[in-house]
Amino acid sequence: MHIIVPIKQVPQSSDVKMDPVTGTMIRSGRSSTLNPLDLYALEAAFRLTEAHGGSVTVVTMGPDSAANILKEALSMGAERAIHLTDRPFGGSDTYATSYVLSRAIEKIGSYDLVITGERATDGDTAQVGPGIAAWLDLGLVTYVSSIEEATSTHLVAERLVEEGYQRVQVALPALLTVVKEIAIPRLPTLKGKKRAMASTIERWDAEAIEADRSRIGLKGSPTRVVKIETPKVARSCTIYHADGDEATLAAVDHLIDLLEEQQLLKEVHHG
Amino acid sequence: MAEVWTIAETHNGSLKEVSFELLARGRALADELEVPLASVVLASHTREGELERLAAYGADIIYVAEDERFASFTVHSHAAVLLPLVRDHGPQIILAAATTTGRTLLPYLAVKLGCGLTADCTSLAIEEGTGNLLQIRPAIGGNIMATIKSPDHRPQMATSRPRSTPLGNMDTTRRATVIRVDPPSLSTDPVEVLGVRPFRDQQTSIEDARTVVSGGKGLKKRENFTLIEQLATALGGEVGASRDAVDRGWATYPHQVGLSGKTISPELYIAIGISGAIQHLAGIKTAKRIVVINNDDEANILDIADVAIIGDLFAIIPVLLRRLNERRKTQ
Ligand SMILES: Cc1cc2nc3c(=O)[nH]c(=O)nc-3n(C[C@H](O)[C@H](O)[C@H](O)COP(=O)(O)OP(=O)(O)OC[C@H]3O[C@@H](n4cnc5c(N)ncnc54)[C@H](O)[C@@H]3O)c2cc1C
Ligand SMILES: Nc1ncnc2c1ncn2[C@@H]1O[C@H](COP(=O)(O)O)[C@@H](O)[C@H]1O
CB contact under 8 Å between A255 and B119, yes or no, is no
Task: Report the complex ipTM.
Answer: 0.85
What pLDDT does residue B240 have?
97
pLDDT at B268: 96
User: Is residue B201 pLDDT above 80, yes or no?
Assistant: no
Q: Where in chain B are all domains bearing CATH 3.40.50.620?
A: 4-180
The reply to whether B318 touches chain A by the CB within 8 Å rule is: no
Interface of A with B in 39-98 (CB under 8 A): 93-95, 98
Most confident of A119-123, A259-263, B40-44: B40-44
CA angle at A164 for the pair A161 and A166, rounded to the nearest 5°: 70
Average pLDDT on B126-142 reads 88
Mutation target to probe the B interface, by most B beta carbons within 10 A, among A237, A241, A256, A261 is A237
Average pLDDT over residues B268-274: 98
pLDDT for the residue numbered A13:
60
Q: What is the spatial distance between Cα B264 and Cα B288, in angstroms, rounded to a whole number?
A: 10
- What's the confidence (pLDDT) of residue A87? 95
pLDDT over 90 at A107, yes or no? yes
Minimal CA–CA distance to A96: which of B140, B92, B115, B86? B115
pLDDT at A269 over 50: no
**Cβ contact A218:A91 at 8 Å:** yes
The pLDDT of residue B78 is above 90: yes
For the residues B272-284, what does the mean pLDDT come to? 91
**Lowest model confidence (mean pLDDT) among A148-152, A223-227, A234-238, A239-243:** A234-238
By C-alpha distance, the chain A residue nearest B261 is: A180
In this prediction, residues A7-12 reach a mean pLDDT of 90
B100, B110, B279: residue with CB nearest A13: B279
Task: Assign a CATH topology to domain B211-330.
Answer: Rossmann fold (3.40.50)
Give the pocket of ligand 2 (CB within 6 Å): A 6-8, 35, 37-38, 41, 60-62, 94, 97, 101, 116-117, 119-120, 123-129
Over range B230-249, report the average pLDDT. Answer: 94
How large is the greatest C-alpha to C-alpha distance in chain A, in angstroms?
74
pLDDT tens digits, A184-218: 999 999 999 999 999 999 999 999 999 999 999 99
pLDDT of residue A39 exceeding 90: yes
Percentage of chain B with pLDDT > 90?
Answer: 76
> Is the pLDDT at B62 greater than 50, yes or no?
yes
* Predicted pLDDT at B196: 93
Alpha helices, DSSP H, located in B71-192: 75-89, 102-113
Mean per-residue pLDDT, B140-159 = 88
Residue A55 amino acid letter: S
CA of B74 to the centre of ligand 1 (A): 37
Q: How far is the CA of B218 from the centre of ligand 1 (A)?
A: 8
Q: Selecting from 3.40.50.150, 3.40.50.620, 3.40.1440.60, 3.20.20.100, what CATH number does the domain A2-215 have?
A: 3.40.50.620
Q: Which residue has the higher pLDDT, B199 or B195?
A: B195
Q: Which residue has the higher pLDDT, A45 or B261?
A: A45
Residues 6+ apart with CB under 8 A from A144: A44, A157, A158, A159, A160, A176, A177, A178, A179, A182
From residue B68, give the alpha-carbon distance in Å to each of B22, B65, B183, B263.
25, 10, 10, 33
Quick one: average pLDDT of A216-234?
Answer: 85
- Locate the domains of chain A by residue range: 2-215
**Average confidence (pLDDT) over A55-64:** 97
Give me the mean pLDDT over the A257-270 stretch: 77
Order of strands across the sheet that contains B238-241: A238-241, B307-310, B289-294, B268-272, B211-215, B238-241
Which of A39, A12, A40, A45 has its CA nearest to residue A27? A12
Q: What DSSP string describes A217-258? A: TTTT-S-EEEEEEPPP-----EEEE--HHHHHHHHHHHHHHH
Give residues (CB < 6 A) around ligand 1: A 36; B 216-218, 242-245, 256-261, 273-275, 277, 279-280, 283, 294-296, 299, 312-314
pLDDT at A270 (0 to 100): 40
pLDDT digits 0-9 by tens, A125-181: 999 999 999 999 999 999 999 999 999 999 999 999 988 899 999 999 999 999 988
| Domain covering B4-180 in this structure, CATH number | 3.40.50.620
Give the helix/strand (H/E) hosting A72: helix A67-76
Which stretch of DSSP H or E encloses residue A33? strand A32-34
- Residue B129: CB atoms within 10 A of its CB come to 6
pLDDT at A21: 56
Closest listed residue to residue B70, CA positions, set B170, B182, B224, B209: B182
Q: What is the pLDDT of residue B260?
A: 76
- The whole-angstrom distance between B211's CA and the closest CA on chain A is 8
Average pLDDT of chain A is 91
Q: Which helix (H) or strand (E) holds A195?
A: helix A190-198
Which pLDDT score is estimated for B141?
62
B170–chain A Cβ distance below 8 A for any pair = no
Which residues pair with residue A61 across a beta bridge? A84
Q: Which residues, including other chains, have CB under 8 Å from residue A207's CB and lie 6 or more apart?
A: none
Q: What is the predicted pLDDT for the residue at A75?
A: 96
Kindly identify the ligand whose nearest atom is closest to the C-alpha of A175.
2
For residue A235, what pLDDT is reported? 67
Contact A213, A88 (CB under 8 A): yes
Residue numbers in A near B277 (CB within 8 A) = 14
Question: Where is pLDDT greater, at B52 or B161?
Answer: B52
Distance CA B249, CA B243 (A): 10
How many other C-beta atoms can be found within 10 angstroms of the C-beta atom of residue B159? 28
Q: How many CA atoms, within 13 angstroms, populate the side-chain half-sphere of residue A159? A: 29
The two beta strands, A9-11 and B37-43, are: unpaired
CB B193, CB A142: distance < 8 Å = no
Q: Which of B201, B258, B197 is nearest to B225 (CA)?
A: B201
pLDDT for residue B135: 97
